[in-house]
A and B are shown apart, each in its own frame.
Chain A
Amino acid sequence: MTQRGAVRHRLLELKASVMVRVANRLFTFKQTGLDGYIKRLMLKQPSKRERVGPSKPA
């Protein structure tokens, strides 16, 4: 860890904050506007099998 400088710390912190903000939008039910756009962009439609999920013990 000792090799991480101040600038890198700040950049990583900024990235982490942005990621949480984006993730929070993905976790809402809103499908319109910017939220809907982000969802369509980031959440690719899963295959039918993935949508159903592992309903039986694997």
Chain B
Amino acid sequence: MTECFAEILWARVDGPAKKWLERVWPGAGGRDAAPSSVQFRAAFAGCARRLRDLPLQAGDVRMLSDAGVIVGADWQLDNVARTALLLRALSLLPGEEQAAFVRQVYLRGDFREQAAVLQSLSFLPRPEQFLELAIDACRTNVLDVFEAIACENAYPAAMFPEAAFNQMVLKAIFLAVLVGRITDLGNRATPELKRMVVAFASERRAAGRAVPDDVDLIVNLDAA
């Protein structure tokens, strides 16, 4: 099912963009070797400006949704390309090198690249190997990057230990990110999360500041 990313990419890419992609596609040149990290990161970076003007079609969006991408309509070709590139590179790397590889791509990316890595995690082989990266991403806190892990992304609810999930929810409230966008929040709402959120609300009231509606939303969730 994850072949759809590469399928869509190669179907939509055209002209000079296609020539570029053929040149930088991991394992290009008939050699089935993983690209050096520098080569890959340059290809990963280049997706934005080279592919940005090529549109996805309605059928592509449906295919992405079927593959498990949430709210596929927000995805553009550069997002699809970056997921496809990661999948391709990991297919050429031994299992024990994969987590470190993806971490380097993430750390050295601009913020759109970082968001693309986080949106890809659920679709990569053995997604549990990226748990530390995903938890760390919640720390970095750049709004676009934070939203890429916290919102419309099945990974945290599926993979995060309770403490990390709770911190992510609290951070969402801090950043005024709507908690309704956190996938499967209802399945992960525990008494401890509710306690943290109620304490936050109390702190806000004591400071004479507004309490977001999201606090009530969480308090009223049925516990998992």
A complexed with B: no
Using a CB–CB distance below 8 Å, which chain B residues touch chain A? none
